[in-house]
Amino acid sequence: MPPKTRARVSKRTASSGKDDDGEAAGGKRKAAAAPAESAKNKESSECPQFCHWLMKSEPESRFENDIDVKFGIEDLKALPDQTGCWDGVRNYQARNFMRQMKDGQLAFFYHSNCKEPGIAGLMTIVKEAYVDHTQFDKNDVHFDANSKADNPKWSMVDVQYQRMMKRFLPLSELKKYHLQHRATGGPLKDAALFTRARLSVQPLTPEEFDFVLSLEDEEPL
DNA sequence: GCCAACGTTGGC
DNA sequence: GCCAACGTTGGC
């Protein structure tokens, strides 16, 4: 049971307005990175369909309502079948990206809010979006009092550990490439990791994915 | 632990 | 529907 993006657990009154799919988030944000993006982009139809992802989780202990939200790649690896559900996402954009995920797609496991943030490894999507049960669990950090059983707001996917990166790819290094690519037009120039830093589930274009993957065979920058 | 960036809420 | 206040994310 992967925690990850912490959620607002407390009160929150009527968030509803946008619990469905239209969602707030989408409204003013620009569409995802690369491929065409219609002028407005309504996320339910985030047309460019992505096939690679980056998902953030915290590998170091941190307590939220007395519950440790720690869940690093080693924790995923330690689960039965090295598989777990990516629950606790409480951001509409992130949720909508999860809903676009397809069986068999690859996602980077990113370590956030820790000593050394960066990409730790790779996992596979092994079950497409379904209801995140933690939204109904009063004892869960991610409980959402506004979500109704007959119209659940939040989804999750199942992920399976695939492998560690041949070497850890620190955010600091990725950022250097990002800055460099912004000047040269390289593959990471629009990477969501920097242009939408707070998004806990992000898409990668094929070019972004290939470039990041190639870094594990390079010397640290 | 600080705090900038930014998503969300809710008054108007 | 705007936007100020508030709360969270997550790097540093």
CATH number, position A165: 3.10.590.10
Residue A71 forms part of a structural domain? yes
What is the spatial distance, in angstroms and rounded to an integer, between the CA atom of A186 and the C1' atom of C2? 38
Dig out the tokens for A156 from the structure: 């999750």
Nucleotides of chain B in contact with protein CB (under 7 A) are 5-10
Residue A11 forms part of a structural domain? no
For chain A, what is the domain count? 1
pLDDT, average across residues A213-221: 96
Contact criterion met (CB below 8 Å) for A84 and A2:
yes
**Which phi-psi region, left, alpha or beta, contains residue A185 (left: φ > 0; alpha: ψ -120 to 50)?**
left
Residue A141 forms part of a structural domain? yes
Cα–Cα distance measured from residue A128 to residue A175, given in angstroms and rounded to the nearest whole number: 30
pLDDT tens sequence across A141-195: 999 999 999 999 999 999 999 999 999 999 999 999 999 999 999 999 999 999 9
Task: Check residue A65 and report its DSSP letter.
Answer: T
Place A48 in a pLDDT band, splitting at 50, 70 and 90: low
Q: Which of residues 42-101 of A touch strand B (CB under 7 A)?
A: 91-93
How crowded is residue A115: how many other Cβ atoms within 10 Å of its Cβ?
A: 7
The residue segments making up the domain with residue A83 are: 49-215
What is the spatial distance, in angstroms and rounded to an integer, between the CA atom of A125 and the C1' atom of B4? 33
Dihedral angle, C-alpha A140, A141, A142, A148, nearest 10 °: 40
Contacts of A10 (CB under 8 A, 6+ apart): none
Whether nucleic acid strand C comes within 7 Å of the CB of A18, the answer is no
pLDDT, average across residues A108-113: 98
Output the pLDDT for position A49.
84
Residue A35 forms part of a structural domain? no
Q: Which residue is nearest to nucleotide C9 (CA to C1')?
A: A198
Dig out the tokens for A81 from the structure: 């079948």
Residue A77 forms part of a structural domain? yes
Average pLDDT over chain A, rounded to an integer: 84
Residue A171 forms part of a structural domain? yes
Place A2 in a pLDDT band, splitting at 50, 70 and 90: low
Residue A112 forms part of a structural domain? yes
Contact criterion met (CB below 8 Å) for A135 and A147:
yes
Residue A16 forms part of a structural domain? no
